[in-house]
Structures are given as structure tokens and as C-alpha cells.
């Protein structure tokens, strides 16, 4: 590309990324302002003074420490759950031959179309019968049974591995499970990371699930905690933005570290619908 083309491209990228990024700057800037400066017009971009204690005070207005612990519990357990279970199932679909496999796989694909909203009422009733309402179990346990999208993604990845590997391993005396665990898992590790990243982000930002299944504030997640501030009678924008910034930081870091895996993982799995 010539210099001209390059500079036009860069200019366009810079301007449009500015549009994408400016709300964040605004968020962080607001989070550091004193209450009086929030409603200044024209807006004050650089807070004066910088009130870093907003973060501390916002964090202690509600038991955010507890919300963080709950969120991390959910994120860690569901990620472990979905990585293990989805890879087991995906292995079955990709590497084993048995009757009914294709039918089940078609059902799996179709099940991705079932919206959460349709099942949430019966799920609520089901969890109520199990005595799980208002516990983190409602949000954690289902992840241990594989998620359709993740299974699909991992299956595509498993398919790319040459069959000779399995055969060689079986001749060496490996059981099928050992083939899955010893041979295949290390090879699909990048795809596992992709799945893990998706899961961390989903679990971290999930709102509807916690909103419906959790009541007691002790069990709140960060997103519900953030929602606590959003009360029509009391809108503390600096505190609200402080918490919003903190909530954003984690997925941001994960994306920054994992973007190579994200794009690579999807590309390798060859999403083609």
C-alpha cells in the first residue's frame, strides 16, 4: 500500500476508534470527579481535583467485595465446567463413530436457537423445586453439561486433527479416554483457551441470570451490584462510573491477553454455520 493509502487508512482508523473509545474516557473521567463537577457544562474532561477515593467509597457503599467474590466463584467454576464438559462432548462428536451421532449433532445445532427467555420460567420453577433459587448453583451447575456453541466450536477444531494419531495411540494401548485426555486435549489447547475466554466474559457480564435467580444481596454478582446504584431517585454518576470502570477492567485485560487465541481459535474452527 502506498503512503497515501496508508495515511488515509490510519486517519480513518484513528477517527473511528476515537468514536468507539470516547465513551470510555468519559466514563473514567466522570469516575474521578467530585459530585459538583459532574454536571458542569461544557464538560470537564480532566477532573480537577482527581478524586481517586471515589473508587474506594463506591466500593464500600455496597458490599462489592462480596459481589466480586461471588462473580469470581461463578466465573472460575463455570469456565472449568464448560471447558471440561464441552471438550468431552466435542471429542465424542468429532472422533467417535456411533449410531445416532449425526442426529444428536443436528439437535445440538438446533438447540443453539432456543432462546434463554423461553426456558427461563420453567428453569426458575425447576430450580425452585431443587431448592436452588438464590444460590449460585443456578448459574454454575448447567455449565458442567456442555454448552452447544462451545461444543460446536471445539468439534470443528477436533476435526482438523489427523486420524492417524488416534489409531497410533490405540495401538499403543491407550483407552479412548486416554486418547481424548493425553493426545487430543494438548493439541486443542488453543481452542480451549478460546472457549475459556468466551465463558469468562459471558459469566462476568451476565445480567439476566443473576437478576432472576438471585435475591439475597449476599449472593449478588458485580452486575447486580452495579444495578444497585441505578435507582431512579439516587444517581451518583461518579460512583456509578467508578464501579463501571472497575467492572470493565477484567474483561479488557483478558481480551488484550487473549485476542490472538480468540481470532485464531475461531479461524481454525472454521465457523461456517
- Which residues in the 169-188 window bind other proteins by CB under 8 A? 175-178, 180-181, 185
Q: Considering only residues 68, 84, 165, 190, which one is a binding residue for other proteins as defined by CB under 8 A?
A: 84
Shortest approach of other proteins to residue 50 CB, angstroms?
19
Within 99-118, the residues that bind other proteins by CB under 8 A are 99-101, 104, 107-108, 111, 113-118
Gap between the Cα atoms of 110 and 102, Å rounded: 12
Q: Considering only residues 151, 154, 188, 242, which one is a binding residue for other proteins as defined by CB under 8 A?
A: 151
Longest dimension (CA), the chain: 75
Task: Compute how many residues bind other proteins; rule: CB under 8 A.
Answer: 148
In three-state secondary structure terms, 76 is helix
Within 249-268, the residues that bind other proteins by CB under 8 A are 250-259, 262-264, 266-267
Shortest approach of other proteins to residue 120 CB, angstroms?
8
Shortest approach of other proteins to residue 52 CB, angstroms?
19
Gap between the Cα atoms of 215 and 226, Å rounded: 15
Gap between the Cα atoms of 273 and 28, Å rounded: 39
- Residue 121 lies near other proteins (rule: CB under 8 A): yes
- Residue 190 lies near other proteins (rule: CB under 8 A): no
- Residue 50 lies near other proteins (rule: CB under 8 A): no
- Residue 7 lies near other proteins (rule: CB under 8 A): no
Q: Considering only residues 3, 4, 15, 41, which one is a binding residue for other proteins as defined by CB under 8 A?
A: 41
Locate 60 and state its grid cell.
464500600
In three-state secondary structure terms, 175 is coil
Element (H, E) at 164: helix 164-171
Q: Considering only residues 160, 167, 168, 187, which one is a binding residue for other proteins as defined by CB under 8 A?
A: 160
Quickly list DSSP for 223-271.
HHHHHHH-BTTB--HHHHHHHHHHHHHHHHHHHHHHHHHHHHHHHHHT-
Shortest approach of other proteins to residue 240 CB, angstroms?
6
Gap between the Cα atoms of 176 and 98, Å rounded: 14
- Burial (0-12, 13-18, 19+ Cβ within 10 Å), 31: buried
Q: Considering only residues 51, 55, 193, 203, which one is a binding residue for other proteins as defined by CB under 8 A?
A: 193
- Residue 65 lies near other proteins (rule: CB under 8 A): no
Q: Give the residue with the Cβ less far from other proteins, 4 or 20.
A: 20
Gap between the Cα atoms of 60 and 113, Å rounded: 41
Amino acid at each position: 500500500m502506498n503512503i497515501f493509502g496508508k495515511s488515509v487508512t490510519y486517519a480513518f482508523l484513528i477517527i473511528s476508534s476515537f468514536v468507539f473509545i470516547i465513551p470510555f474516557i468519559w466514563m473514567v473521567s466522570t469516575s474521578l470527579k467530585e459530585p459538583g463537577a459532574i454536571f458542569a457544562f461544557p464538560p470537564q474532561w480532566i477532573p480537577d481535583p482527581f478524586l481517586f477515593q471515589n473508587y474506594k467509597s463506591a466500593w464500600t457503599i455496597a458490599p462489592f467485595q462480596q459481589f466480586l467474590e461471588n462473580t469470581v466463584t461463578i466465573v472460575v467454576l463455570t469456565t472449568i465446567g464448560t471447558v471440561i464438559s464441552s471438550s468431552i462432548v466435542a471429542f465424542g462428536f468429532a472422533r467417535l463413530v456411533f449410531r445416532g451421532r449425526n442426529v444428536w449433532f443436528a439437535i445440538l445445532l438446533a438447540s443453539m436457537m432456543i432462546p434463554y427467555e423461553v426456558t427461563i420460567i420453567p428453569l426458575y420453577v425447576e430450580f425452585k423445586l431443587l431448592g436452588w433459587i438464590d444460590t449460585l448453583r443456578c448459574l454454575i451447575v448447567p455449565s458442567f453439561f456442555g454448552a452447544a456453541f462451545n461444543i460446536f466450536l471445539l468439534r470443528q477444531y477436533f476435526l482438523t486433527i489427523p486420524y492417524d494419531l488416534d489409531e497410533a495411540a490405540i495401538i499403543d494401548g491407550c483407552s479412548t479416554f486416554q486418547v481424548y485426555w493425553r493426545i487430543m486435549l494438548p493439541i486443542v489447547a488453543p481452542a480451549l483457551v478460546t472457549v475459556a475466554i468466551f465463558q469468562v466474559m459471558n459469566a462476568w457480564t451476565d445480567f439476566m441470570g443473576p437478576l432472576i435467580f438471585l435475591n439475597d444481596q449476599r449472593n449478588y454478582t458485580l452486575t447486580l451490584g452495579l444495578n444497585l446504584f441505578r435507582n431512579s431517585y439516587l444517581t451518583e454518576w461518579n460512583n456509578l462510573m467508578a464501579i463501571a470502570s472497575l467492572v470493565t477492567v477484567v474483561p479488557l485485560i483478558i481480551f488484550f491477553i487473549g485476542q490472538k487465541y480468540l481470532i485464531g481459535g475461531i479461524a481454525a474452527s472454521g465457523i461456517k454455520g
